[in-house]
Amino acid sequence: MRRALILASLLLTSCAVPDMPELERAATNTLRASVFLPPIKDGLAPRRHEAPAGALDEAEVAVTNGPTLLVSYGRQRKVMTMIQGQGEQRMWRSDDGTVVATDGARVVATAGTQTNLSATRFDSPDPLDDVTALLERPAMARRVVDLAPAQRDPGRMRFGVSLECRMRAARVAEGLYVEERCGGGARFLNRYWADAETGAVWRSEQWVGMEDRPMTIEVLSPPAN
């Protein structure tokens, strides 16, 4: 069980008879839909989501020595470096003081965002700890989170928000793809991309308490094992 860390998302409609590539794409998308994968459009396989060209200027690149993340939410895009680590539990901070705490690939706390994820508590092991196991066996996870607005208004704080999530994984061109659909105190979709051999997550889109604004985390330089 994890301890709380405080702190800190085929229908082909056409009147004409589809050609073979369209039929193949339709069949592929039907299969992908069965494991919650996004459809392939224009006959192209999904591409790895790299940081956009020019997203990092020279000043930002200068601080990417060592473990580094590129974190985006809304219009915010921030480079974060690891300031503390103990096993899989790590803390990351940007130059403007925004902080993200992670346990493995999971964001478990934030500080400096519009709504802060104050704590995360699981009542069983997090299935995200073993992404490769999700290929053979979908899993359920239950957790409780605490949320607080940046202004720390007691009237808007939410404690003990209960979540129930179902996770599945499939192999794709980039490696492994995981979808996590959650309900309960909040409804959202988390997505993860991982290395096919190690199961290490290199990109994710995670709900962190901000409405309609997932946090995207891309690993620019991973921590040493």
Q: What is the pLDDT of residues 200-210, one digit of tens each?
A: 999 999 999 98
Average pLDDT over residues 127-134: 95
Average pLDDT over residues 3-14: 36
Average pLDDT over residues 179-194: 96
Q: What is the pLDDT of residues 11-63, one digit of tens each?
A: 223 334 344 445 445 544 554 444 444 454 444 433 333 444 444 454 454 55
Query: In 10-138, which ranges are E strands?
Result: 68-73, 76-86, 89-93, 99-103, 106-111, 115-122
Band of pLDDT at residue 155, cut at 50, 70 and 90 = confident
More confident site: 5 or 102:
102
* Helix, strand, coil percent values for the chain (each to nearest 5): 15, 45, 45
Structure tokens belonging to residue 160: 């003990």
Band of pLDDT at residue 140, cut at 50, 70 and 90 = very high
Q: How far is CA 171 from CA 77, 154, 166, 181, 199, in A?
A: 29, 44, 18, 18, 11
Which CATH class name applies to 54-221? mainly beta
Band of pLDDT at residue 64, cut at 50, 70 and 90 = low
Structure tokens belonging to residue 206: 């995670």
Band of pLDDT at residue 225, cut at 50, 70 and 90 = low
Residue 116 clears pLDDT 50, i.e. is over it:
yes
pTM of the model: 0.73
Q: What is the pLDDT of residue 34?
A: 43
Q: How far is CA 142 from CA 5, 168, 169, in A?
A: 16, 15, 18
Most confident of the following: 36-45, 151-160, 178-187: 178-187
For residues 108, 77, 213, 128, the Cα torsion angle rounded to the nearest 10 degrees is: -40
C-alpha–C-alpha distance, residues 118 and 192, integer Å:
22
Residue 4 clears pLDDT 90, i.e. is over it:
no
